[in-house]
């Protein structure tokens, strides 16, 4: 099975992302819009059931090591760079440190059970689209300085998700949720 670990978005944020996707006038770039957006913490690829059990143990421990938090979203960007975009993304502002902590912790602990460590630096984002035609990339430039206002979102769990690739796009199935530690109450 093909597996990744992610933070899923609530319905209000998903609706906001759909509005952003509709407002981007970049049809000439032939975008393939992402339908089920999320924040990927770690992509594991194809794994066996036996390895999955060990992954679930790591996720349980790492989720308990991080308290729940709030995220907000910011500016659009492009990978690998704006002049040659292959992916259009929405960046994370508030809560970014928590997400980076989770991704780093998962990367470190999963490496101890045989998964390769990330060679590139981790950059928390939401993928909005994959670009198929990079001939008219200047269409994207005006949007890269624009801030998109979405509601904040509480993050209180991480999810292990199976991704089945189909001709119409991936189908995601949640394997297991792992609640984050609740913040300490100072009453």
Q: Which residues are catalytic?
A: 38, 125
Q: Give the Cα separation of 124 and 91 in Å (integer).
A: 7
102 vs 153: CA distance, rounded Å: 17
One-character DSSP codes across 20-72? HHHH---GGG-EEE-SS-EEEEEEEEE--HHHHHHHHHHHHHHHHTSB-EEE-
Bridge partners, 11 (sequence order): none
Number of H helices, E strands in the chain: 3, 10
């Amino acid at each position: 099975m093909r597996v990744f670990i992610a933070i899923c978005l609530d319905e209000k944020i998903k609706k906001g992302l759909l509005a952003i996707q509709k407002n981007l006038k970049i049809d000439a770039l032939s975008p393939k819009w992402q339908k089920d957006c999320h924040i990927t913490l770690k992509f594991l690829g194809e794994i066996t059931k036996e390895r999955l059990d060990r992954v679930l143990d790591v996720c349980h421990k790492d989720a308990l090591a991080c308290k729940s938090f709030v995220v907000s979203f910011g500016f659009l960007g492009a990978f690998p760079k704006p002049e040659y975009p292959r992916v259009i993304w929405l960046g994370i502002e508030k809560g970014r440190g928590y997400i980076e902590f989770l991704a780093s912790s998962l990367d470190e602990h999963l490496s101890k059970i045989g998964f390769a460590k990330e060679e590139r630096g981790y950059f928390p984002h939401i993928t909005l689209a994959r670009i198929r035609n990079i001939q008219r990339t200047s269409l994207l430039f005006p949007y890269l300085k624009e801030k998109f206002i979405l509601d904040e979102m509480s993050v209180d769990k991480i999810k292990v998700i199976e991704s089945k690739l189909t001709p119409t796009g991936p189908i995601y199935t949640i394997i297991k949720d792992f609640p984050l530690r609740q913040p300490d109450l100072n009453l």
